[in-house]
Amino acid sequence: MAGKKIAIAGSANMDLIMRVAHFPKPGETLAGKDFTTAHGGKGANQAVAAARLGAQVSFIGSVGNDSFGNQQRKEMENEGINLRYLKTDPALPTGTAIILVADSGENMIILDAGANQALHPEDIHLLKPLFSDVDRLICQLETPLDTVREALELARTYNVFSILDVAPACPLPPDFIAAADLVTPNESEAEILTGIKVDSLDSARAAAERIAGWGARHVVIKLGAKGSYYFGDEEIYAPSFEINAVDTTGAGDAFTAALAVVWGTLPTAEALRFANAAGALAATRPGAQPSMPSLEEVLALAGSLSV
């Protein structure tokens, strides 16, 4: 499964993280603790996760000409990620995310996209040589929507399998969804897309059916601690693993990256199990990129796979 060539177009942020006993109400001043910073951004998180799982990763993104941007670049370089297509925008600061992590492990994220907004459709046009040489594309929604769409369309032109992680979710036109081969919302994202509240397998099926009806051939709904659900050529529910969740930030990114690494190599049920294991392991450690597991860790938790 190692060696898959994956292009990831998306965000790179600096995460400013604080732990809280509970999330504040409007007007409330709350004592937090354990303030720390960690490299984040859904795109960069997925790039690091895929690289640690053995993929050859190219990251397409935009950071600012500042210390957060330089640190992120260095970090991804250390992970062996190809940064030829990572821009430095002269005018905007590197994206930042303020993250509150509750004792339950759940998080709340506020994002200032900064330089992520400077990844333009024209930048994607420069990627033709890259797209003729990769197996997969992953996009999320922390960069401009017209850029994401351009990347999905270029992937289709070059016959590259594309994965659209609809995070953070916003209502999207059906033809946007149809431009992707695989769509991976979590429960709340599936609800924003479809209007269907996802809180059971039946409602996950109903939401996935609607998304598939818009033209996505494969839909995977991330069910968090409950696992994941696939709707497409068949229908599969894959339960997750018992873990002690410390911080769920980046767990969904670990899941999507892991799915991209093994998609088409493992049978779908096993690919879901592998991705569930990656997401679960990421939730056992603090931070986004620092929490991404190694291939050995994921294989050990996922159990026997037909590779």
Does 47 bind ligand RIB (CB under 6 A)? Our answer is no
What distances in angstroms separate CA 134 from CA 1, 27, 166, 215, one per listed residue?
15, 49, 21, 23
Q: Name the 3-class secondary structure at 262.
A: helix
Residue 13 binding ligand RIB, by CB under 6 A: yes
Does 189 engage in binding with ligand RIB (CB under 6 A)? no
Of 94 and 268, nearer to ligand RIB (C-beta) is: 94
Residue with Cβ nearer ligand RIB (160 or 280): 280
Nearest to 4 by CA among 42, 45, 58: 58
For 224, the token pair is: 């968090």
Give the phi and the psi of residue 169 in degrees, each rounded to 5: -75, 150
Query: 290 with 253: CB under 8 angstroms?
Result: no
Site string for ligand RIB, 223-262 (x = CB under 6 A): --------------------------xx-xx---------
Residue 5 near residue 133 (C-beta atoms within 8 A): yes
Taking CB under 6 A as the criterion, the residue among 4, 8, 15, 246 binding ligand RIB is 15
Give the bridge partners for 88, in sequence order: 63
> Exactly one of 207, 288, 298, 301 binds ligand RIB (CB under 6 A); which one?
288
11 touches ligand RIB (CB under 6 A):
yes
CB of 190 to ligand RIB, least distance (A): 16
Count of Cβ atoms closer than 10 Å to residue 22 Cβ = 12
Taking the complex as a whole, how short is the minimal distance between the CB of residue 205 and ligand RIB, in angstroms? 25
Q: How far is CA 86 from its chain centroid?
A: 17
Here the tokens at position 145 are: 């929507």
Which residue among 4, 9, 41, 69 contacts ligand RIB (CB under 6 A)? 41
- Tokens standing for 201? 């397998």
Cα–Cα distance measured from residue 107 to residue 46, given in angstroms and rounded to the nearest whole number = 18
**What's the closest the beta carbon of residue 95 comes to ligand RIB, in angstroms?**
7
- Enumerate residues 111-140 that contact ligand RIB by CB under 6 A: 111
Structural contact between residues 285 and 297, judged by C-beta atoms closer than 8 angstroms = no
143 binds ligand RIB (CB under 6 A): no
**Residue 253 bears catalytic tag:** yes
Q: Which of 4, 42, 210, 273 binds ligand RIB (CB under 6 A)?
A: 42
Binding site for ligand RIB (CB under 6 A): 11, 13, 15, 40-42, 45, 97, 109, 111, 142, 249-250, 252-253, 288
Residues recognised as catalytic: 253
